[in-house]
Amino acid sequence: MADSAGSSRPSSTFDFVIAANRLPVDRVVDEDGNVSWHRSPGGLVTAMESVMADRDGVWVGWSGEAGEAPEPFDEAGMRLHPVPLSEDEVQAYYEGFSNDTLWPVYHDVIVPAQFHRKWWNVYREVNERFARTLAEVAAEGATVWVHDYQLQLVPAFLRQLRPDVRIGWFDHIPFPPVELFAQIPWRAAILEGLLGADFLGFQRPGDAGNFLRACRHILGMTVKGDVIHVGKVTGGHDVRAACVPISVDFRSMDELARTPSVRARAREIRASLGDPSLLLLGIDRLDYTKGIRHRLKAYEELLKDGSLDGADTTFIQIATPSRERIDAYIDLREHVEGAVGRINGNYSAIGSPAMEYLHQAYGREELAALYLAADVMVVTPLRDGMNLVAKEYIACRHDNGGALLLSEFTGAAEELREAFLVNPHDIVGLKRAILDAAHASPQERSRRMKALRRRVRRNDVQHWAGAFLDALEAAPNKPVRPVRKPTRDHTHEEH
C-alpha cells in the first residue's frame, strides 16, 4: 500500500483496483440498529478474493443504498471504497439507463428499450464519478479492472485522468449485433468510453466480434484481427477485444455439495414434495431474459397432453426477486405467478405439487442441495451472457447424475456441448428436450455429466480471472502520454 500523506481521503493508493456497480457486500442492520456488512454470495467475489490474496487491492462500488456513501472500510479481506448515489441517480443511472435501456438492447430487445436523455446524462455523470474515485485510489502504474455494462464510460474517463494505469473491462452480458446496438442514440460515446481500456473481455467470441464490428461500422476504426487502432479518441493506442468466458468456483461448490448436511437436505427436499419420480429445477433471477415463461409453457403442455404426470412430477422454480420497480419485471412476475397458480390448480395432487415456486433468495448450501436433488436442470434463457447456474449445477453433481437442459442462446452453450441443447422459442423442441433429458438412461446422463464436469473443473473462475489479467498484462497498448500524478483534491459531486 503506497502512502499519500497530506492528501484528504483516501489515505492510501492501491496497485490493484476493481470497479463494479456494486460493492461485494450487503449492509445489514440488526434489531438493535447495529450496522454490519455481509459478503455477497457469488463467484465474482470469490474470484476476486483469490486475485486479491497476493495483491494490494481495493474494490470501488456502490453500497446498494441511496444517499451519502460510508467511509472506505475493510471487509471480506479487501479494502472497500463506496461511491455515493442519490435516489434520483439510482433511478436514472441504474434502474433507468443500465436496466431499462442497455439491458434490453444488449439482450436482443426481448422487451422494448426506453431511451431518455436525462437517464443518459446521469449515466455519464455517475461513470465520471467512478472514474474520479478510481483515479484517486489507483497507485502509479496500477491495474484497474472495470466490470460490466453499468460502467462503460469509465475506461475513457479514467484514461484521461490517469494515462499511467492499465485498464481492463469485462462485459458480463452479451454485446449485441451492430444492427441493435446502433439504435442507441449515444452509441458512439459508449464505444469511445470502452476504447479507453487496454483490454476488453467478453463472454463469447461472438460478443467480441459484435464489438469489433461496431467499432468499424459506427466509428470507422481500423480493426486488425482482434485489435482496434484508436486513432482519434485518446491520441493513438491499440485496444484488444477478446473472449474470456467466466466460470464458477468449481472446487468450493463440489466440496459443498459433498458435505453430509447438503446431501441429507437434498433427500429431504425430494421427500417434502412427496418423492416425485421426476424433479425439474429452474433457478434464475426473475428476469425476462431467462425464458421462464417459455419453460412454463412447455411444462404446462406436457402435463396437459399427458406426457408428464403432475402427481408424480414436480417443477421447482426459484425466481430471485430482481429490479422490482421496472414495469417489464412487474409484468413478468404477474405472468409467471399466474401460470404457476394455473398449473398447480390443474395438475397437482395433495402432497404432490406439480410446481413449487419460490420468489426468494437462498444461501449457498440450500442452492447446492437443490442442484443435487434435481433430475433435470432447466436453463432456457432467450439470451444470457454466460449463465452461472448451469455451471454451478455441473459443479455440484459429483455423483455424475442429473441432466442439464441448456438454451443455445447462453454463453455457457458455447462450452457445454454435452448438455441437452435447446432453442427455447421452439416450444415443440423444448418439450421434446425436457422428455429426452428426463428419460435419458443413467449411463447416458453420466457420460454427459462427466464430460461437462471435466470442462468446468478445468475452466473454473480462478482460471477465468487469471486469463483476463494475463490478457490485460499482455495488451498491446503502452501509455502514450507522459505519466502525470492524479489530482487529489477534487470533491465528489452531489446530484
Interacting residues toward ligand ADQ by CB under 6 A: 41-43, 172-173, 246, 283, 285, 318, 320, 361-362, 367, 384-389, 392
Look up 384 and say whether it is catalytic.
yes
Amino acid at 47: A
Residue nearer to ligand ADQ on the CB measure, 128 or 171: 171
Which residue, 143 or 387, is less far from ligand ADQ as judged by CB? 387
Alpha-carbon distance 457 to 434, whole Å? 26
Closest to ligand ADQ by CB, 325 or 492: 325
Rounded to a whole number of angstroms, the minimum distance from the CB of residue 247 to ligand ADQ is 9
Among candidate residues 81, 107, 172, 237, the one labeled active-site is 172
Select 256 or 386, whichever has its Cβ closest to ligand ADQ: 386
- Based on the residue annotation, tell me whether 172 is a catalytic residue of this protein: yes
Nearer to ligand ADQ, 136 or 384 (CB): 384
What is the distance between the alpha carbons of residues 8 and 370, in angstroms, rounded to a whole number? 49
Q: How far is the CB of 320 from ligand ADQ (least distance, A)?
A: 4
Phi first, then psi, for residue 316 (nearest 5°) are -95, 120
Q: Find the shortest distance in angstroms from Cβ 392 to ligand ADQ.
A: 5
For the bound state, the minimum distance from the C-beta of residue 374 to ligand ADQ, rounded and expressed in Å, comes to: 13
Shortest distance in whole angstroms from residue 220 CB to ligand ADQ: 31
The nearer residue to ligand ADQ, 103 or 123, going by C-beta atoms, is: 103
Q: What's the closest the beta carbon of residue 361 comes to ligand ADQ, in angstroms?
A: 4
Question: Minimum distance between the CB of residue 356 and ligand ADQ, rounded to whole angstroms?
Answer: 13
Nearer to ligand ADQ, 221 or 370 (CB): 370
Residue among 148, 249, 254, 384 flagged as catalytic: 384
List, by residue number, the catalytic residues. 172, 384
